[in-house]
Amino acid sequence: MSEHDSEQEVLRLEGLRKSYNIGKPTEVEVLHGIDFLLRRRDFAALVGASGSGKSTLLNVLGLLDRPTAGKLYLLGKPTHEMDDAQRTALRGSEIGFVFQFHHLIQAFSALENVLMPMMVIGGRPAPKYVDRAYELLEQVGLRGLEQRRPDQLSGGQQQRVAVARALIARPALLLADEPTGNLDSKSAAEVFELFRKFNREFGCAVLLVTHDPRLSDQCDRTLTLVDGNLQSDVRTEIGPAR
C-alpha cells in the first residue's frame, strides 16, 4: 500500500474540448466536451478507433497541449488557469509519460536516460535521484544493465527503461500512449505488469491507450472514445478493494 490516499483525485475533466487549426479554414474540433474523474487507485484503459481522439486527449491530460475549452484539474489544481511555466513545472513533478516509441537518447546509458527528466530541471541530478534510478531499473528487471546504451538492449528492455524514466519524479499520474504497440506479446505483458505494479506500490494513477483487448481486459476501468466523445466509462474491477 502506498503512502497516498488511494481515493485522492488526480485528474478532473469538465467539458474538455480540443480543436486544431483554430481560425483557419481547416479548423476542426476533435474532443467535444469530455468529463471524467481519475483517482490514485485507478488503473484505466483508454480505447477507441483510430482517429477517435485518444492521443489528443492524452496530450492534453499530460499538459503537453492545451484544451481549447473546459476545465482540467490536476491534484485539484486548475491547470486551465496556469501559464506555460506553471504547467511545465507541474508536468515535471506529477506526470510520467510513456509513448509507443521510447524516445531514449542513444548516446546515453540506461541510467542516464532514467535520470534525464531530473537533469533537464536542475543540471546534475542529486544523489537521491541517482539512487532512485538504480532502484527503478532494478524494479523493472534491468539490474546490471544500467550502463548499457539503448542499442545494446532489446525492444522490451528499452521500453522498461522508458517506464523507469517516467517514474523518476514519483508522479501522481502515469500516462501511456500505446506503450506496448511496438512489442512482442511477451514483452508487452511484462511492460503491462510493470504499470500494474507501480499503480499498486506507488499509488500512481494509470491511464493507458491500448488496442490490445488482452491488456484492456485486465484494467479496472475502460474509457471508450467514439469520434471525440466519451461513449462509455465502465468499471470492470474484480476482487477485493484496494
Q: Is 9 helix (H, G, I), strand (E, B) or coil?
A: strand
The C-alpha cell of 238 is what? 474484480
For residue 53, state whether it binds ligand ADP (rule: CB under 6 A).
yes
Which window, 20-28, 75-83, 109-117, 198-206, contacts ligand ADP (CB under 6 A)? 20-28
User: With binding defined as CB under 5 A, does residue 56 bind Mg ion?
Assistant: no
CB of 101 to Mg ion, least distance (A): 12
Interacting residues of 30 by C-beta distance below 8 A, sequence separation 6+: 18, 19, 20, 53, 56, 228
> Binding segment for ligand ADP among 48-56, 89-97, 109-117, 132-140 (CB under 6 A)?
48-56
* Dist. CA 219–CA 40, nearest whole Å: 14
Contacted by 48, from ligand ADP, Mg ion, none: CB < 5 to 8 Å by type: ligand ADP
CB of 202 to ligand ADP, least distance (A): 26
Cα–Cα separations (whole angstroms), residue 165 to 6, 44, 139, 168, 207: 23, 21, 12, 5, 17
Answer whether 37's CB lies under 8 Å from 93's CB: no
Pick one of 40, 43, 46, 55: the residue that binds Mg ion (CB under 5 A): 55
Helix (H) or strand (E) holding 91, with range, is: helix 84-94
* Residue 23 touches ligand ADP, criterion: CB under 6 A: no
Grid coordinates representing 223 are: 474509457
Regarding 52 and contact with ligand ADP (CB under 6 A), the answer is yes
Interface stretch with Mg ion, choices 24-32, 51-59, 100-108, 152-160 (CB under 5 A): 51-59
Residue 51 binding partner per list Mg ion, ligand ADP, none, with a CB distance cut-off of 5 to 8 Å that depends on partner kind: ligand ADP
Task: Of 18, 16, 39, 44, give the one whose Cα is nearest residue 233.
Answer: 44
> Cβ of residue 55: shortest distance to ligand ADP, in angstroms?
3
Minimum CB separation of residue 16 from ligand ADP in Å reads 13
Can you tell me whether residue 72 is helix, strand or coil?
A: strand
Query: How crowded is residue 5: how many other Cβ atoms within 10 Å of its Cβ?
Result: 11
Locus of grid cell 491507450: 209
179 scored as a contact of ligand ADP (CB under 6 A):
no
Which region among 52-60, 129-137, 151-159, 181-189 touches Mg ion (by CB under 5 A)?
Answer: 52-60
> How many Å apart are CA 52 and CA 54, to the nearest integer?
6
Chain positions contacting ligand ADP, by CB under 6 A: 20-21, 28, 30, 48, 50-56
